[in-house]
């Protein structure tokens, strides 16, 4: 199944394409009040389709439950952000949900990861990507499969960066500098 997040101002919708039947299908919208199309992202969270919506005072993550006869959205996480100025605005992309209820998100406008855990005294840990010379980047949560991510993404506007060096001492020709994260307050 392939999914698209369609922004049709002032709202959004999700459309799917079934590869087996070659049919386009509409996906039910998230519960009422969440259709506003600003600051919405779609991705994979723990093997399930998810939508993340940044509101004025909270960030909500909805997960698609398609195990039954119909597809239903369930709210997985709701992060109270308090005053909006405390949390940077923009689109948050959920990257990883941890068993301890922690959530790692990426904000492409700031080129930074945010780690939120409901038990922490601080609302989030801010991890900025250093050595990035671009004004905007994207992070993709990749689930290994028989299809190479590089084969899918390579295009005229895509540059693949090696984040983990193969060997700390030896750098191979064409290998890029390693990226690093720094915690900022």
Which pLDDT tens digit goes with each residue over 112-153?
888 888 887 777 788 877 766 666 677 777 666 666 666 666
Q: What is the pLDDT of residue 154?
A: 65
Q: What is the pLDDT of residue 47?
A: 83
Helix or strand run (H / E) with residue 114: strand 112-116
Quick one: CA torsion of 125, 136, 86, 31, rounded to 10 degrees? -90
Q: What is the pLDDT of residue 68?
A: 65
pLDDT at 59 over 80: yes
pLDDT digits (tens, 9 = 90+) for 64-121: 987 766 788 899 888 887 754 567 777 888 988 888 888 999 887 788 888 888 887 7
The residues, ordered by sequence, that sit 6+ positions from 164 with a Cβ below 8 Å of its Cβ are 178
CB atoms within 10 A of CB 166: 9
Q: What is the pLDDT of residue 149?
A: 61
Helix or strand run (H / E) with residue 150: helix 149-153
Q: At CA 118, angle to CA 138 and CA 130, rounded to 5? A: 30
Distance separating alpha carbons of residues 63 and 51, to the nearest angstrom? 7
Distance separating alpha carbons of residues 1 and 20, to the nearest angstrom? 8
Q: What is the pLDDT of residue 14?
A: 85
Quick one: CA torsion of 145, 52, 12, 143, rounded to 10 degrees? 0
Q: What is the pLDDT of residue 84?
A: 47
Structural domain boundaries of the chain? 2-184
Asked which of 26-40, 90-104, 167-181 is least confident by mean pLDDT, the reply is 167-181
pLDDT category of residue 36 using cuts at 50, 70 and 90: low
- Give the sheet arrangement for strand 92-97, strand by strand: 92-97, 103-107, 112-116, 125-130, 180-184
Supply the pTM of this predicted model: 0.68
Distance separating alpha carbons of residues 142 and 146, to the nearest angstrom? 12
């Amino acid at each position: 199944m392939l999914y698209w997040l369609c922004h049709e101002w002032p709202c959004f919708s999700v459309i799917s394409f079934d590869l087996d039947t070659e049919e386009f299908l509409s996906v039910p919208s998230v519960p009422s009040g969440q259709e506003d199309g600003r600051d919405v992202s779609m991705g994979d969270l723990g093997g399930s389709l998810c939508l993340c919506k940044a509101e004025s005072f909270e960030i909500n993550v909805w997960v698609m439950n398609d195990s039954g006869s119909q597809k239903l959205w369930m709210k997985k996480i709701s992060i109270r952000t308090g005053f909006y100025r405390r949390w940077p605005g923009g689109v948050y992309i959920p990257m990883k949900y941890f068993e301890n209820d922690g959530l790692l998100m990426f904000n492409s406008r700031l080129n930074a990861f945010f780690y939120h855990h409901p038990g922490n005294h601080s609302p989030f840990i801010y991890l900025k990507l250093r050595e990035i010379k671009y004004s905007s980047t994207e992070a993709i949560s990749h689930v290994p499969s028989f299809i190479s991510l590089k084969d899918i993404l390579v295009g005229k506007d895509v540059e693949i960066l090696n984040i983990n060096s193969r060997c700390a001492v030896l750098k191979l020709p064409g290998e890029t500098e390693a990226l690093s994260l720094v915690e900022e307050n």
